[in-house]
Chain A
Amino acid sequence: MPKSTKSRPVKEDPPPIFKSWNQLYVFVLVLHLIIISLFYMLTKAYS
């Protein structure tokens, strides 16, 4: 029988600046896509 682990309620505060966590996640991923696009442009520009 698995040992039961005590759980506690976790307070979910909103992130700073953004209205929701989902907005912040999208921001991180879009920023990453922009960075990869810049890398791609660098690759093309200097090849």
Chain B
Amino acid sequence: MNPIDWIIMLGTLFGIVAYGVWKTRKVNNVQSYLLGDRDLPWWTIGLSIMATQASAITFLSTPGQAYESGMGFAQFYFGLPLAMVILAIFFLPIYYRLKVYTAYEYLESRFDLKTRTLTAVLFLVQRGLAAGLTIYAPAIILSTILGWNLQLTILFIGAIVIFYTVLGGTKAVSVTQKQQMIVILGGMFIAAIIILLRLPEDVTFGNALNIAGKMGKLEVVDFDFDLSQRYNIWSGMIGGVFLFLSYFGTDQSQVQRYLSGKSLTESRLGLLFNGIFKVPMQFSVLLIGILVFVFFLFTKPPVHFNQGNINSLAGTPSEIAYQDLSQQYDRVFDSKKAAVQTLMSAFDTNDEGTIETAKTNLNNLQTQENLIRTEVKNLIIKENPAAKTKDTDYVFITFVMNYLPVGLIGLLLAVIFSAAMSSTASELNALATTTVIDLYKRSMVTDKDDKHYLVASKWVTIMWGGIALIFASTAGLFDNLIQAVNIIGSIFYGAILGIFLLAFFFQQKDTKSRTLGAFTGAVLGAILVGYYLGELTMNAAILGGMIGGLLGLILIHLSFKGVSANAVFWGAITGEMAVLYIFYLNRSGTINISYLWLNLIGCVLVILFALTIQTFMNRLKRQAAPATPQ
């Protein structure tokens, strides 16, 4: 890497860290360390929320995902704005009224200590695992591409994050995230401009979209209802709402961001800021992937983007077969390039028949290219069965390293490192806060002074940083990193959300609980009916909604007048067990459900189990009570 890139990358990263440390030099009490003095304006909160969610994986994997599968991944975020509105209306005022440090604190006031502890532990398990992945994911890719030592790369990211998070706590996280997001958004915008400038002169932005569209890459919205399909509008709008309600409403790494707001108004605006800008931002990152795809139609991309895998074929019996495939790949690429030119000429004539012929020819050549790429992957597996051959995470970084000018490479690497650091810092900060507030201070060491808990918070941050580093150093590469993080989340998030929904809405036999019961039932009914009909038609959706809504109403009316702590606790345990079993069945191939639905299933199961247990408890209580004299 050029020295100028090194200077820009390190200068950007250390400049942000130094600024964060300087701004938080006066943090000297627990309130300030864990809640950042509650003085942040809405736009800092909004950027901080976005920076927490957008990890380095987002900027490495997402363009690669668009390159491989098109724009459909945008649908994953379709439920987010609705979730932000629900949080702003229902969740935020309660957190503010109770002056909580963590989301789980509220559960004790509503239920009991064991429910609070259980939920906090569920969070610590899933977020503790994710924190390791957040460091590992970019480290493995950057170390492969840049030829850096993997363990040193992990240590580099981890050590800087631990340093400023331990020193400045929540405020350091938010202050640095603001700068990091500015670098990230600016860097990605410049990258998009450079890709456009790098396209051949006769390829305009409109042409690029036309070509990508004809190759099936611009299918953003898919209305087919298929539970096994990862991304469609239904999984995004229904499963996504539950995922984002869980993530933003109950995951401390996000709750801590908006609890540090100056007022309820500032926190609400911060959430809504995210609701407005998140979907367009993800769309833009995917669009960059599409532009990279079009760029590589005119400039020959490597036959396999993970150069480390290709290097491993040198000197093996498969090397000759690889060279043969490489030559075939070169020929197919030349033909494909010519086919793209033909398609562009057809666009100029605007003749549908010619466009269709050119499109078919181009897609056939793309299929041939994909077959060659698959054969190369087979060779890699043959020589090294443990190798991970999914190379989409390497697409964008390959473009950055080979086709961006000196200086911008350093900036884009700073983008990726910034993203890794911003999300990891939030995670470590939240893990420490939950450990200290919900476990240590509440149940273990309850009677010390403020200074003791401040020091404890710093040590616990170091501890979680160490755990994340150990996990990152030992983790194997998942098939697709961004999905691995989301799958881990989906297994736990649904159950946590179920507990919170029981707390918020199932207090009394009131209008809110009836509405939620009807809504939950409607969603469940719609999915079941849609599933059994094999395809969700409008009639099926209406029928499912009606049946589900009715079931929900009956359930609420029949079963309870409020739900107790014990019912919630055991409902959560059995619900989470059921989700893990469903996940196991899915992994073993017995059933086939996209992981996004696990959020909804987990949430609904916890609510249903808790209500069922409550019904039995009520019945037992009635039976045990002495008969009232007439």
B219 part of interface (Cβ distance < 8 Å): yes
Contacts A25-B88, A28-B81, A29-B85; is A42 near B108 (CB within 8 Å)?
A: no
A to B contact number (C-beta, < 8 Å):
97
Question: B109 within 8 Å of A by Cβ?
Answer: yes
Q: Nearest Cβ in chain A — how far from B279, in angstroms?
A: 6
Say yes or no: is B516 at the interface (Cβ < 8 Å to chain A).
Answer: no
* Contact between chains at B279 and A35 (CB < 8 Å): yes
Contacts A2-B112, A28-B84 given; does A43 touch B265 at CB 8 Å = no
Rounded to whole Å, the gap between the CB of A36 and the closest CB of chain B is 7
Task: Chain B residues near A8: list those with CB within 8 A.
Answer: 96-99
CB contact list, B196-220 vs A, under 8 A? 209-210, 212-214, 216, 218-220
Contact A25 B89 (CB under 8 A): yes
Question: Contacts of B221 on A, CB cut-off 8 Å?
Answer: 36, 39-40, 43
Residue A19 at the chain B interface, CB threshold 8 Å: no
8 A Cβ contacts from A18-34 to B: 21, 24-25, 28-29, 31-32
Contacting residue for A31 out of B89, B96, B276, CB 8 A: B276
B-side contacts of A4, CB under 8 Å: 109
A25 to B81, CA, bound (A): 9
Given contacts A5-B109, A28-B81, A32-B275, whether A12 and B97 have CB atoms under 8 Å apart is: no
**How distant is B245 from chain A, measured CB to nearest CB, in Å?**
15
CA distance A43 to B212 in the complex (A): 11
Give chain A nearest CB distance to B237 CB in angstroms: 9
Residue of B nearest to A45 (CB): B213
Q: Closest residue to B219 on the A side, CB-wise?
A: A43
Whether A2 contacts B264 by the Cβ 8 Å rule is no
A16 CA to B283 CA, complexed, in Å: 27
B111 part of interface (Cβ distance < 8 Å): yes
Residues of B near A42 (CB, < 8 A) are 218, 220
For the complex, give the distance between the alpha carbons of A3 and B100 in Å.
Answer: 13
Closest to B273 in A: A28
Residue pair B78, A28 in contact (C-beta under 8 Å): no
Q: Is B82 located at the chain interface by the 8 A CB criterion? A: yes
Residues of B near A35 (CB, < 8 A) are: 279-280
Contact of B264 among A11, A16, A32 (CB under 8 A): A11
| Interchain CA distance A13-B538 in the complex, whole Å | 41
> B97 contacts which chain A residues (CB < 8 A)?
7-10
Interface status of B268 (Cβ within 8 A of chain A): yes
Judge whether A5 and B84 touch: CB under 8 Å: no
- Do residues B218 and A47 form an inter-chain contact, with CB atoms below 8 A? yes
Interface contact A7-B85, CB-CB below 8 Å? no
Say which size band chain B's interface belongs to: 35 or more
Does B141 lie at the interface of the complex (its beta carbon under 8 Å from any beta carbon of A)?
A: no
CB contacts (< 8 Å) of A3 on chain B: these are 108-109, 113
Cβ–Cβ contact A36 & B109, under 8 A: no
Whether, in the assembled complex, B93 has its beta carbon less than 8 Å from a beta carbon of chain A, the answer is yes
Contact of B99 among A7, A28, A36 (CB under 8 A): A7
Interface string of B231-271 (1 = CB under 8 A from A): 00100000000000000000000000000000111001100
- Docked pose: A15 CA to B276 CA in angstroms: 15
Q: Please, which residue of chain A has its CB at the minimum distance from the CB of B82?
A: A29
Bound-state CA distance A4–B105 (Å) is 10
B267 CB to nearest A CB, Å: 11
Q: Are A28 and B109 in contact (CB under 8 A)?
A: no
Instruction: Output the least CB separation between A39 and chain B (Å).
Output: 4
List residues of chain A with CB within 8 A of the CB of B218.
42-43, 46-47
Shortest Cβ gap from A30 to chain B (Å): 10
For B219, what are the chain A residues with a Cβ–Cβ distance below 8 Å? 43, 47
Closest to A8 in B: B99
Q: How far is the CA of A12 from the CA of B266 in the complex (A)?
A: 11
Closest to B269 in A: A15
Q: Taking the nearest CB of chain B, how far is it from the CB of A4, in angstroms?
A: 6
What's the Cα separation between A5 and B100 when bound, in Å? 8
Q: Is the CB of B264 within 8 A of A36?
A: no
Q: Mark B509-536, 1 if CB is under 8 A from A, else 0.
A: 0000000000000000000000000000
B373 in the interface, Cβ–Cβ < 8 Å?
no
* Contact assessment for B275 and A28 in the assembled complex, using a CB-CB cutoff below 8 Å: yes
Return B318 CB to nearest CB of chain A, in Å: 39
Are B265 and A46 within 8 A (Cβ)? Answer: no
State whether B565 touches A12 (Cβ < 8 A).
no
Q: A12-B93, A32-B81, A35-B280 are in contact. List 9 more A-B contacts (CB 8 A).
A: A5-B109, A7-B98, A11-B264, A21-B268, A39-B220, A40-B220, A40-B221, A46-B213, A47-B218
Q: Which 3 A-B pairs have the closest CB atoms?
A: A46-B213, A5-B109, A39-B220
11 contacts between A and B (CB under 8 A): A11-B263, A12-B265, A13-B264, A16-B269, A21-B88, A21-B89, A29-B81, A32-B78, A32-B275, A36-B78, A42-B220
